[in-house]
Amino acid sequence: MSIPIFEYLNYREFLRDAYEKKHSEDWHFSHRYIASCARMDASMFNKILQGKRNLTPRLIDVFASLFCDTVEEKEYFINMVAFNQSKTHSDSRLYLERLVAHKECKVHSLAKDQFEYFNNWYHAVVRELLVIYPYSGDARSFGQMIFPPIKASQVKESIALLERLSLIKKNESTGIYEQTEGFVTSGSESYSTEVNHYIQQNLKIACTALDRFNSKERNLSTLVFSCDEESYAEVVEMVRRFRREVLGRISASKKSNRVFQLGIQFFPLSDTYPPPIRRGRKKKIREKEQANRDVEVDCD
């Protein structure tokens, strides 16, 4: 019996486990055997498992034939490789959705709920609003409290999801929903893709804050500066400390009456100097980026 591929979202982990099982059943199935089938160096398979090398289209077909038994398994493997090796968030999200939607995918229910949690920006808002809004079922009024407003059906969907994740619970004596101490992790590779999507949604909402709120209700600013790698690392740590301090201060708040969003973005606006030497694929990617340099950045 082969390794259940549908329980995996990382093809390197699948290959490692599948190889160990096949090798334990037949010692002839070795790194050298795989290398001969794939017409590659004997050390390449180990480098792939360690993440030092990616699978090329040719190797994807070879490995699918070596480690997959059915057409469905091969299709799943191809999508899993594409997901893990995606260069853009949109591609990563596309292939992750294909994996999770697969009829035989064994990603457990909690993982699917976590996937859904990060899929929509308003789930976190609903959970925080419950701290100050005594919600007991009036989904329409609750949805109107959120900026921008969400539908009653979205409120009900969010409440049901948050309950499944044990992030909220209904007080049996009052009938009102309350927060719990639970949390949703974003540590795995699959969730990080959804977290990126979640951040994109919140950035789009932030773009409209200038028009939706007056200067007394919002605080928006930006900095542009140059620095070296050491300073960059120090600023990243400063941001982390600041986030912890903010969470500590907010946790001590006893009279919350509104939900806020604090966004901190720190990213490069130029290449390093002297410019790095690029060859092959990296050079082609850079040339493509330069060809699109005149495309207007739009928050809509």
Q: What is the pLDDT of residues 184-207, one digit of tens each?
A: 555 445 556 777 778 888 888 888
Distance in angstroms (rounded) separating the CA atoms of residues 126 and 178: 11
244, two tokens: 């912890």
Secondary structure E strands in 147-194: 168-170, 177-179
3 state DSSP class of 23: helix
Name the band, by pLDDT with cuts 50, 70 and 90, for residue 80. very high
pLDDT, position 149: 94
Residue 108 has pLDDT above 50, yes or no: no
Tally: H helices and E strands in the chain: 14, 2
CB of 143 within 8 A of CB of 155?
yes
> Which comes out higher in pLDDT, residue 298 or 9?
9
Using pLDDT thresholds of 50, 70 and 90, give the confidence band for residue 156.
very high
pLDDT at 122 over 50: yes
Predicted TM-score (pTM) of the model is: 0.63
In the predicted structure, residue 118 carries a pLDDT above the cut 50: yes
**Residue 240: pLDDT above 90?**
no
